[in-house]
Amino acid sequence: MSTTELIFEIGTEELPSHDIDAALEALAFKKGSPIENLFLSNNIKFNKTYAYATPRRLILHMSDIPLCQDIVIEGPPVRIAYDNQGSPTKALEAFLQKNNACLRDITRPGEGPGDPRVSIQKKDVPNAAILINILPKVIGLIHFSKDMRWNEGGAVFSRPVRWLTALFGSRILSFEYAGIKSSNVTRGHRFLGHPLVRVKGPSHYFKALKANHVVWDNNLRKKMILSFLERRRWHINDELLSEVANLVEKPSFIEGSFDKKYLQIPREVLLASMSKHQRIFCLEDRKGALTNRFIGVLNGANKDTRQITRNFENVLEARLKDALFFYKSDTKKPLDEWAAGLSDIVFCKGLGTMRDKTRRIEEIAGFISQRCFPDIKKGDIAKAAPLLKADLLTAMVREFPSLQGIMGMYYAKDSGQEEDICLAISQHYLPRFAADILPSTGLGALFSLADKFDNIACYFCVGKMPKGNWDPYALRRQAIGILSILMNNKISLSLSGVVGFCLSLNTAPGGSDKAKELILGFLKDRFASMLLARGEYRHDLIESVAAGGADDIYKTYLKLDELNSIINESAFEKARVIVERTHNIVKAANINLPGIDERLFSEPQEHEVFNGFNEIKSDFIGLCQRGDFSHATDNIVTALSDSLGDYFDKVMVNVDDKRVRANRLALLSAINRLYVDNIADLSLIVVEGKDSSRKGPAAKPRQDK
Amino acid sequence: MIYFHDIIERLNGFWKRAGAVIALGYDIESGAGTFHPLTFFRSLDTEPWRVGFVQPSRRPADGRFADNPLRMQRYYQYQVLIKPAPGDIQEMYLDSLRHIGINPRQHDIRFVQDDWESPTLGASGLGWEVWFDSLEITQFTYFQQMGGLELKAISCEITYGLERIAMFLQKKTDVFSIQWNKDTTYGDMHYQQEKEGSEYNFEHLNPDMAAGLFDIYEKESGRLSRLGLVLPAYEYMLKASHAFNLLDARGTISVTERASYIARVRELAKACAKLYMEKNEHDRTDI
């Protein structure tokens, strides 16, 4: 069957960078995506799809679409299509007329359940006619974080749509959307190309774009920019790189400089000022220090860039002058005086001001330090805590919110604070994003934990816990931050202890056992998904360890690592069998169990298992407390694996005598709990070739959101 | 050389030919041309409307003691409002730049996303900052909301920063050396005002007086609203808004107080917008 290509260009006024990314995502034809479904449900076959974008256009290019297809159109149900005599009704005639068909085209379905309908099959229906209906819907299926209206039609999009180019081979697909008629006309680069460019077909379309100075592939633009930057020592900033690639239709470059006196401004301020205001890249020297040189990316090559470069430099000069102004006015008073204003900033409705927050941080930090930071002085906590958030009030942080903490550090230095305290101020925000660095100092780690625990406790208390994609306070990220610090710094800490303490500081409603349970569940969940994302451990092993109690994250992590090292050994498999068999039989019984009564034993195997259990019990627990989980596992396997196998072969657990039965179950349950409570619930381990249905949803890998 | 007053004259000429009413700036201190009644009220209804004018604008917190080439506590905006926005409005704008002597092909002109919002006016819109060699020279906005009302007809607002454009055209790196005409510079006209204005706003303004004035203006605006006097009520809202801007620049109000002041101004603006729309359903208010 002959096929052709589709070109669909949505021409717009300049789209925001993040909206370009959103549109490319929507047009990526991911499995199950709405746009893919639209084509599939209309039976439009294709081979490859490509999505491209510039600030002024979104492009969908599809290959090998058949020119025609056979389609089936469903009509009225048979009982309505024909009367009692079997003659066609008015309804059927109307259906035929509407579809330009006659009676012999009708297919009558056989007897079947439901309400079968008549249908007609149409052969060789041109796909062009179907695409004309689909393409306007494609536009509607691209969603943005913020939409706008621009004319009386009420259409919404990221920015106004101004032209539509739709070609199926050389044929124009004509339709109307938001008052615009689609055509075979595209537009060149805003300043370098022709304003209107008529195209003859798909391959000519790309030639025409090229001739009119449009680099339509955003990845290619990014590559062009990167290859220019990589010839120099640029301060790597991938976020800015992606954004800049979305701000131009054809990149070209300038190199400029600024007065060296501005290098006295803190590095982070220089970088923030350059990237935020002018989207320019700063260059570094061999040692990684910033130089007074920068690279700007222009939209299109100009012959004479001297004046443009001078203009960029003058603008930068004014910006840096402003940054210096902020810096000087902020340092007119010491940081602790700025801190006084914290009592004016509301932290969260119902949870007091930022001053209240820093008081809580101080208490939580005190609580944690007593347990796991013995070297940190109470005096340092008291000195640093009130300063942690003080920079929120300064002009620089109001101008560049991303510099919170960092400015606090510089201003604390200026106010003569000790190095440790200055570093703690900037480090208490770490890690700020998924792959960010962790605090390098004890005090920084301590405050980072305290601040994050407080945030989680507070927002859970007022019901603002994350749900689905909704996590405006980034609590998931903060939980991961807590867990990373605990694991990285080898900190043994009882989560339930800290969370309970945090909740006791909140007078907000909901600071109850329920909130505590929710928070601990949330943290445990994050722990599992974080380890899963690392890909080093099997998900079932993570689940089984998490199910065995994960109150001390660091210890749990060590346990996981150790179990992972013996997962392929026979002792592990034997322990798994012990846990699984005891689990299955106890769970199936589902009764309250009494204490074990030796007098009710009647079989030698019962005595043997019970003796073995008693012999190793305290050793086993001791080994677990020392963190030696593999020896503990060996221990229980040696003592019980064979005898328990014998037990299950010879002893009937579920006998009629209720007391005997309960007693036998009690013994098996004790063995199960010994392993599960101290190490892991190995009944959650998936065994190949076995039905794993009872594992339920918990065993599925979860996405970390 | 294109003098400062030539730029104004050329913009007036350009927009006059585009069918705009060439009006004059409003005579009450305001932060931007958006606050002019010919913008605020005329963007609310669905009547076609085109207007252009110079609006002297006050931004007390942006003062830099006449020591920064880009930031001032008082400057000039050229304001255009077009409703409905024509399909080629961006091209029209670029033509207006050509008309004042800017050749876009010799520079780097960019439309960079800017989600505009005026919390005091209860207004928001989507559009861009227009960059000229990396400096914002124009704010370009499709209004979506004004005075707390969702707009039925979408206006396009184009706000030119006159000083910045003049600096580029005259190749000056300092705003005060812009030639207003052959013999007079911008500095001759405004240097002293800028310096003393900054000193007053940042150092000598009596915060109690400004807070007191705010209360008086707010009360008066509310009273006039209740009397159905839309424009007088609006004027007192403008005065209250400026009193708040002064307090804000002085740095004596807390963050929570600041948010509450903004909300109070917004309530006044919303009341005016609502009243205007109610009155307009019966007869056109003359502005």
Task: Kindly state whether residue B43 falls inside one of the protein's structural domains.
Answer: yes
Give the CA distances from residue A600 to residues A329, A526, A614, A666, in Å, rounded to whole numbers and listed in that order. Answer: 84, 45, 17, 12
In chain B, DSSP finds a helix count (H) and a strand count (E) of 8, 8
Of B110, B255, B256, the CB nearest to A299: B110
Structure tokens at B143: 């209004």
Closest CA to A14 of B126, B275, B225: B126
pLDDT of B286 > 80? The answer is no
How would you class B12 by CB atoms within 10 Å of its CB: exposed for 0-12, middle for 13-18, buried for 19 or more? middle
What's the pLDDT score for residue A132? 96
State the residue for tokens 């469903």.
Answer: A74
Does this complex have an ipTM over 0.90? Answer: yes
Report CA-CA distances (Å) from B246 to A316, A330, B27, B123: 28, 19, 18, 21
Candidate from A14, A279, A315 with C-beta closest to B111? A14
Q: Which residues of B touch A278 (CB under 8 A)?
A: 134
Q: Does B69 touch chain A (CB under 8 A)?
A: yes
- Looking at chain B, which residue has its C-alpha nearest residue A395? B251
Q: Is residue B200 part of a domain?
A: no
**CB within 8 Å: B68 and A325:** yes
| CB < 8 Å from A in window 107-126 of B | 107-113, 115, 125-126
Residues B53, B101: one domain? yes
Question: Residues with Cβ < 8 Å from B207, sequence gap 6 or more?
Answer: B247, B250, B252, B253
The closest CB to that of A308, out of B70, B107, B126, belongs to: B107
Instruction: Inspect the interface and report whether the beta carbons of A279 and B134 lie closer than 8 Å.
Output: yes
Q: A171 CA to chain B: closest CA distance, Å?
A: 26
Q: Would you put residue A293 in left (φ > 0), alpha (ψ -120 to 50) or beta?
A: beta
Element (H, E) at B157: strand B156-161
Total of domains in chain B: 2
CB of B96 within 8 A of CB of B115? no
Please give the Cα distance from A480 to A469 (Å, whole number): 16
DSSP H/E element including A369: helix A354-372
Please judge whether B105 and A192 are an interchain contact, meaning their C-beta atoms are less than 8 angstroms apart: yes
Considering the domain architecture, whether residues B124 and B25 belong to the same structural domain is answered as yes
- Residue A234 φ/ψ, nearest 5 degrees: -95, 150
Residues B47 and B164 in one domain: yes
Whether chain A has a CB inside 8 Å of the CB on B103: the answer is: no
Whether residue B173 lies within 8 A of chain A, CB to CB, comes out as: yes
pLDDT of residue A510: 53
* Residue B147 shares a structural domain with residue B221: no
Q: Give per-residue pLDDT as tens, B198-255.
A: 999 999 999 999 999 999 999 999 999 999 999 999 999 999 999 999 999 987 776 6
The two beta strands, B49-58 and B21-22, are parallel
- For residue B125, the distance in angstroms to the closest alpha carbon of chain A comes to 8
According to the model, what pLDDT value does residue A695 have?
Answer: 40
Q: Which among B194, B220, B242 is the end of a domain?
A: B194
* CATH number assigned to the domain comprising residue B278: 1.20.58.180
User: According to CATH, what is the number of the domain A553-699?
Assistant: 1.10.730
Mutation site, A13, A176, A279, A281, interface B, largest B CB count within 10 A: A13
Min distance A298 CA to chain B CA atoms (Å): 6
Contact yes or no for A312 and B105 at CB 8 A: no
**B145 in A contact zone (CB under 8 Å):** no
Does one domain contain both B128 and B231?
Answer: no
pTM of the model: 0.78
> Domain boundary residue among B152, B173, B194?
B194
Any CB–CB contact under 8 A between B208 and chain A?
A: no
Q: How far is CA A482 from CA A207, A358, A404, A496, B247, in A?
A: 53, 18, 19, 14, 41
User: For the domain A337-534, what is the CATH code?
Assistant: 1.10.3210
Half-sphere exposure of B76 (CA within 13 A, CB side): 19
Domain region containing B232 = 205-282
B39 and B91 together in one domain: yes
In a domain, B199, yes or no: no
How confident is the model at residue B284, as a pLDDT? 52
Which residue of chain B has the CA closest to A278?
B134
| pLDDT averaged per 10 residues, chain A (length 705) | 93 97 96 94 94 98 94 85 87 87 81 80 89 96 94 90 96 95 97 95 96 96 96 93 96 96 92 93 94 95 85 93 90 92 80 90 95 89 95 89 93 94 96 90 96 93 85 90 93 92 75 82 90 87 83 89 90 93 87 86 90 92 89 92 90 88 91 91 82 41 39
Cα–Cα nearest to A295, from A238, A214, A213, A233: A233
Q: Do B111 and A13 touch (CB under 8 A)?
A: yes
The pLDDT of residue B170 is 96
pLDDT at A122: 84
Does B287 reside within a domain?
no
B65 part of contact set with chain A, CB < 8 Å: no
Q: For position A111, what pLDDT does the model report?
A: 67
CB within 8 Å of A307: residues ≥ 6 apart: B106, B107, B133
CB A322 within 8 A of CB A328: no
Which residues in chain B are closer than 8 Å to A162, comparing Cβ atoms? 87
Alpha-helical segments (H) within A27-89: 34-41, 78-81
Which of A20, A145, A147, A148 to probe by mutation at the B interface, max B CB count within 10 Å?
A: A148
B-chain residues within 8 Å CB-CB of A150? 85, 142, 154
CB contact under 8 A, B254 and A341: yes
One domain for residues B166 and B226: no
Residues of B in contact with A314 (CB under 8 A): 69, 173
Q: What is the pLDDT of residues B10-62, one digit of tens each?
A: 999 999 999 999 999 999 999 999 999 999 999 999 999 999 999 999 999 99
Give A300's contacts in chain B (Cβ within 8 Å). 108
Beta-carbon separation of B134 and A296 below 8 A: yes
In a domain, residue B135? The reply is: yes
Domain positions in chain A are: 3-68+129-211, 74-124, 232-330, 337-534, 553-699
Does residue B80 register a pLDDT over 90? yes
In A, minimum Cα distance to B68 occurs at A318
Which residues in chain A have their CB less than 8 angstroms from residue B144's CB? 148-149
**Which of A315, A349, A351 best tests the B interface by mutation, with the highest count of B CBs <10 A?**
A315
Q: What is the pLDDT of residue A690?
A: 56
In this structure, the answer to whether residues B165 and B238 fall within a common structural domain is no
Nearest to B134 among A312, A322, A344 (CB): A312
Q: Which residues of B touch A298 (CB under 8 A)?
A: 108
CATH number at residue B87: 3.30.930.10
Contacts of B150 in chain A (CB under 8 A): none
* Amino acid present at B138: T
Looking at the structure, tell me whether residues B86 and B34 fall in a common domain: yes
Q: In 3D, which of A502, A503, A498, A470 has the Cα closest to residue A483?
A: A498
Question: Are B187 and B137 in the same domain?
Answer: yes
The alpha carbon of residue A596 and the mean position of all alpha carbons in its chain are separated, in whole angstroms, by 49
Of B87, B133, B257, the CB nearest to A162: B87
CA distance A184 to chain B (A): 19
Nearest by CB: A345 against B115, B128, B256: B256
